[in-house]
Amino acid sequence: MDAVNLSGTWSKKTRPNNGLTKVADLINDNRTTRVPIVGWVEFHQYTEVATGNTLTVALPVVEAVVDAEGNDTHGWGKSVIEMIDALRKERGLGTADDVPPQSGAQLEGQQSFDFDGPDDGEPRRVGEVRIGPDGEHTVPEASGEELLAEAEEARAAGVPAAEFSGGDQ
């Protein structure tokens, strides 16, 4: 496998599975903070192209193990970091503290790139680029489940099927 991408967009129906909402303000207000999480991934999509094979996994459930202020009241955050460090050590890597922050590019308004892509010297853009009120953002492809949930939400809101395409056009 040349790359593994992560899709973690929650539709309105599945938003309760996004435990990051409780720490969203913490992350936004402290953009270099790291929030330990637990969750799991599931198959989303597999793509074979001449430049490399990519597995995309969905992140259907995620929970922050600290509270909204970043306090580790249960000690779970410390445990998660210890597990990360132990697993990285097994792979011959340094500790989690050795991983450089990823927020720098987003703070400067740059794009997200997949640097695990083909070794042609050019990073691959991952997902669709959209421009919002706070700049450009890369949005991963919607899963079939997300598209169906969006269609269901549109029907519930009374949007005629002819007006709903399941995506931006």
Residue ranges making up the domain that contains 26: 3-163
56-60, 68-72, 100-104, 105-109 — most confident range = 68-72
Q: Does 117 reside within a domain?
A: yes
Provide the b/e sequence for 120-157 (b: ≥16 CB within 10 Å). eeeebebbeeeeeeeeeeeebbbbeebeebbbeebeee
Instruction: Determine which of 27-31, 52-56, 115-119 has the lowest per-residue pLDDT on average.
Output: 115-119
- In total, how many domains does the chain have? 1
pLDDT on residue 105: 41
How buried is residue 1: exposed, middle or buried, by Cβ count under 10 Å (0-12/13-18/19+)?
exposed
Q: Does 169 reside within a domain?
A: no
Q: Does 144 reside within a domain?
A: yes
Quote the pTM value.
0.58
Angle at 20 between CA 18 and CA 25, to 5 degrees: 140
Which residues lie below 8 Å from residue 52, measured CB to CB, with a gap of 6+? 2, 3, 117, 118
Give the pLDDT band (50/70/90) at residue 101: confident
Q: Does 168 reside within a domain?
A: no
CA–CA dist 131, 11 (Å, integer): 20
Q: Does 78 reside within a domain?
A: yes
Q: Does 25 reside within a domain?
A: yes
